[in-house]
Chains A and B, each alone.
Chain A
Amino acid sequence: MRQSSLAATMVALAAFLFTAGCEKKPSGAAGTPRKTATTKSAGQTVRLTFWHIMDYEGPREVLATAVQRFEQAHPGVVVEVVPIKNDLFKQKLATEIASGSPPDVFHTWGGGLLAAYARAGRVLDLSAALEQDNWRESFHRAALNFCTAEGKVWAVPLDISIVPVWYNREIFRAQELDPPRHETDLKALCIKLRAAGITPFALGNKEQWPGCFYLIYFATRRGGMRTLEAAAARRPGASFSHEAFVWAGRQIQELVALRAFPEGFNGLTDDQARRLFFTGRAAMYVMGNWLVARCRTEAPAFLERLDCFTFPAASEGAGDAGAVVGGTNAAFAVSSSCKHPEVAVALLRELTSARVAKEWVAIGRLPAIGTEVTEQALPQPARRALELLRAAPAIQLYYDQYLSPALALAHKETTQALFAGIMTPEAAAERMEQVARENR
């Protein structure tokens, strides 16, 4: 690991010497469109642009082959596929939509941001298309709900993801540890791991969303999903300064005080945190089940040691002990500015076909589409995640996708401030409430 980061620095340095002087060119492959088809029959060529966030081995290939199949079935259609890294995608899409030049088909997590775009008239209403050929019935209801706003469907989900607590079985065996049942157990576990010189949790919170999982879980465990729903909907008496949110903030700060997270975690990226986990330097990792797909390609040997349990319950409180945090991490929407909406919808049908779902399972991810695929096709750790999903009475959508854009940003900023210890739980909750009131 040490060697590799030094090597990374050297590689980066070498890369600079080559790129020096071409400041205007987009750096990295993220921004470069990859054409999947070059030659097409003469006559009318229909061009579509398609942006997604699966910019890593596995899911990227699944989507690329789906697009290839689509192009073969639709002569004269060229789809320009642009995979963009998660956090870069958020910035790029927001900018392109604000400036009025969005891609024809794009990834979405559903939730509040999609609803905001839908209300602004930027997304195509798919409700009518869903009624044809029983398309609607093919989707997992909860996943489709994430893509629904004001009674209409604005995107179709391929993926369903949940966030369990992943752990390194080897470390747990060597230290004789059991999955914690509630937050007191969890803290005891952290103390033990630290004493053994192991970082309890891998966390890279520079991009702010990875730390949010902790706040969402603690708040859901303490106050239930209804607390957030009521606060976001501005129901009378409901508020973001609810005791459950304050309690959640306090749990986070207690974990920080126990040194449950790696040194400098607020400045680390999630990629760096994942490496800490895969190299056995951190024992646990609160992350989506896409981790399995990452593990298959980045650290295949680690699959053996990978296992998960559900986030510990609250020892006191009226919350949902079994609910899982999750959402859809690959849903696709059509921009209302798309010139060939019927072609774009046909592409969505291909992207959410049973065949793609099958390939999705094969790389270790959970599809939002009912298929006859047996669980056997899933890698073992992903099967454990599926069990947690099946046992869960409900899915709490990631807050930063559930909430409106302004509240989502405030949620990420205040949660990072809680982790940094520069905001009290009360002040963070009060700040959320203030932003909610202003954006009513």
Chain B
Amino acid sequence: MMKAPASRECLISWALLAPAIIFYGLFVLLPIAQSAAYSLFDWSGVGAEKMFISLENYAWLCRDPVFWRALRNNFLLVLLSLVIQLPAAMGLAVLLSYLRRTRSLFRTILFAPMMLPAVAVGLLWSFIYLPGDGLLDRFLALFSNHVAFGWLGRSDMVLPAVIAAICWRHTGFHMVLFIAGIESIPEELYEAARLDGASEWQVFRRITLPMLLPVTRVSAVLSIVGSLKYFDLIWVMTRGGPAHASELVATYVYKTGIEAQEFGRGSALAVALLAIVFTATLVTHALLRAWARLTAEGKA
């Protein structure tokens, strides 16, 4: 007698889930499977000629210096995003928590870059970096005679320049996460600490920071995944150039698969990128969980 309602419930939940599952399968899982299949072929992507070459595309990928270069750039982006965006976002969130009346105004302003279309942000920063005439060079001209600097045209300068733009765009997003985190910290904790005569630094160090740990974890994972599959601003500002200096795996996937009409190789790159993102996510989760356990044990 107890089984009937349970199975009906089960049926209902499957029925309710069905649209999402079908949608997800059709537009996420199926294309991934297709890419994996294409990656085993030598195929231009437009013609009928398709030749099965098993893992040859992956062997090519391991030999290809541009892929490794792109991957290195991706990891640099991950590192700098974590080191710059997260602390900056947290700092801004804490500062904003001290504001009363102007808080929402500043929050909107700082979040604005995230609301702008990537193409617009890319163009804006291209103007800023314009050699000689750009905002940055004209600012530097106030201090020195060297006024023309090819920020986006120099292979040793382009990656930091683009990463600065990326950080500018995404810091606001993480800041909003941290603000939400701070707002969920019970006010009593702060009152108690201040009654006990804690300094503002101690309050931050002993209350805000530990209480923000769950949000930090989410932020870090989002930042890592986002940096690994990054595409838009780089594409608009440099197209991965000059000469692959700012190439990322995602831009290289596009160039190989669509521009060079090497769809098999492009698919192999995409599958490799998926594997890297997947592994990185698992590792990050495992590390953060271990860290949380350690700190919990330390307290006990």
Asked whether A16 lies within 8 Å of B120 as measured between CB atoms, the reply is yes
> How many angstroms from the CA of A28 to the CA of B117 in the assembled complex?
11
Asked whether A264 lies within 8 Å of B117 as measured between CB atoms, the reply is no
Q: Which of B16-24, B40-48, B74-82, B223-231 contacts A (4 or more CB under 8 A)?
A: B40-48
Q: Which chain B residues lie closer than 8 Å to A410 at the CB level? A: 260
> How many angstroms from the CA of A94 to the CA of B117 in the assembled complex?
23
Q: Which of B149-157, B178-186, B208-216 contacts A (4 or more CB under 8 A)?
A: B149-157
> How many angstroms from the CA of A122 to the CA of B49 in the assembled complex?
13
- The 8 Å CB contact of B46, one of A120, A272, A404, is A120
Asked whether B238 lies within 8 Å of A206 as measured between CB atoms, the reply is yes
The minimal Cβ–Cβ distance linking B244 to chain A, given in whole angstroms, is: 7
- The 8 Å CB contact of B117, one of A19, A262, A269, is A19
Q: A265-B153, A405-B261 are in contact. Are A2 and B120 (CB under 8 A)?
A: no
Q: A376 interface residue, CB < 8 Å from B?
A: no
Q: Which chain B residues lie closer than 8 Å to A264 at the CB level? A: 131, 148-154
Within 8 A of B (CB), among A247-306: 262-269, 272
Q: A98-B263, A264-B152 are in contact. Are A206 and B119 (CB under 8 A)?
A: no
Q: A94-B258, A409-B255 are in contact. Are A205 and B150 (CB under 8 A)?
A: no
Q: A55 interface residue, CB < 8 Å from B?
A: no
Interface string of A1-23 (1 = CB under 8 A from B): 11001101100110110011111
Q: B276 interface residue, CB < 8 Å from A?
A: no
Q: Which of B83-91, B99-107, B122-130 contacts A (4 or more CB under 8 A)?
A: B122-130
Is chain B's binding surface mostly helix, strand, loop or mixed? loop
Which residue among A9, A13, A23 has the maximum number of chain B CB atoms within 10 Å of its CB? Answer: A9
Q: Which chain A residues lie closer than 8 Å to B116 at the CB level? A: 16, 19-20
- The 8 Å CB contact of B258, one of A13, A91, A265, is A91
Q: Which chain B residues lie closer than 8 Å to A8 at the CB level? A: 127
- The 8 Å CB contact of A265, one of B121, B150, B155, is B150
> How many angstroms from the CA of A140 to the CA of B126 in the assembled complex?
41
Q: B243 interface residue, CB < 8 Å from A?
A: yes
Q: B160 interface residue, CB < 8 Å from A?
A: no
Q: A220 interface residue, CB < 8 Å from B?
A: no
Asked whether A95 lies within 8 Å of B154 as measured between CB atoms, the reply is no
Asked whether B138 lies within 8 Å of A20 as measured between CB atoms, the reply is no
Q: B165 interface residue, CB < 8 Å from A?
A: no
- The 8 Å CB contact of A266, one of B132, B138, B153, is B153
Q: A5-B130, A20-B112 are in contact. Are A409 and B259 (CB under 8 A)?
A: yes
Asked whether B155 lies within 8 Å of A27 as measured between CB atoms, the reply is no
Q: B174 interface residue, CB < 8 Å from A?
A: no
Asked whether A117 lies within 8 Å of B241 as measured between CB atoms, the reply is no
Q: A422 interface residue, CB < 8 Å from B?
A: yes
Q: Which chain A residues lie closer than 8 Å to B244 at the CB level? A: 413, 417
Q: Which chain B residues lie closer than 8 Å to A262 at the CB level? A: 131, 148
Q: B133 interface residue, CB < 8 Å from A?
A: yes
Asked whether A120 lies within 8 Å of B260 as measured between CB atoms, the reply is no
Q: Name the residue of chain A whose CB is nearest to the CB of B242.
A: A266
Within 8 A of A (CB), among B138-190: 138, 148-155, 158
Q: Which chain A residues lie closer than 8 Å to B117 at the CB level? A: 16, 19, 22-23, 27
Asked whether A120 lies within 8 Å of B124 as measured between CB atoms, the reply is no
> How many angstroms from the CA of A116 to the CA of B45 in the assembled complex?
11
Asked whether B128 lies within 8 Å of A422 as measured between CB atoms, the reply is no
Q: Name the residue of chain A whose CB is nearest to the CB of B113.
A: A16
Q: Name the residue of chain B whose CB is nearest to the CB of A423.
A: B243
Q: Name the residue of chain B whose CB is nearest to the CB of A208.
A: B241
Asked whether A116 lies within 8 Å of B243 as measured between CB atoms, the reply is no
> How many angstroms from the CA of A422 to the CA of B127 in the assembled complex?
25
The minimal Cβ–Cβ distance linking B138 to chain A, given in whole angstroms, is: 7
Q: A350 interface residue, CB < 8 Å from B?
A: no
Q: A37 interface residue, CB < 8 Å from B?
A: no
Q: Which chain B residues lie closer than 8 Å to A414 at the CB level? A: 243
Asked whether A267 lies within 8 Å of B261 as measured between CB atoms, the reply is no
Q: A125 interface residue, CB < 8 Å from B?
A: no
> How many angstroms from the CA of A233 to the CA of B294 in the assembled complex?
65
The minimal Cβ–Cβ distance linking A100 to chain B, given in whole angstroms, is: 9
- Chain B residues close to A by CB (< 8 Å): 44-48, 112, 115-121, 123-124, 126-135, 138, 148-155, 158, 238-239, 241-245, 255, 257-263
- Chain A residues close to B by CB (< 8 Å): 1-2, 5-6, 8-9, 12-13, 15-16, 19-23, 27-28, 90-91, 94-95, 97-98, 116-117, 119-122, 205-208, 262-269, 272, 404-406, 408-410, 413-414, 416-417, 419-420, 422-423
Give me 7 other A-B pairs in contact (C-beta within 8 A), A91-B258, A264-B152 excluded. A6-B135, A8-B127, A16-B121, A23-B117, A94-B259, A267-B131, A419-B243
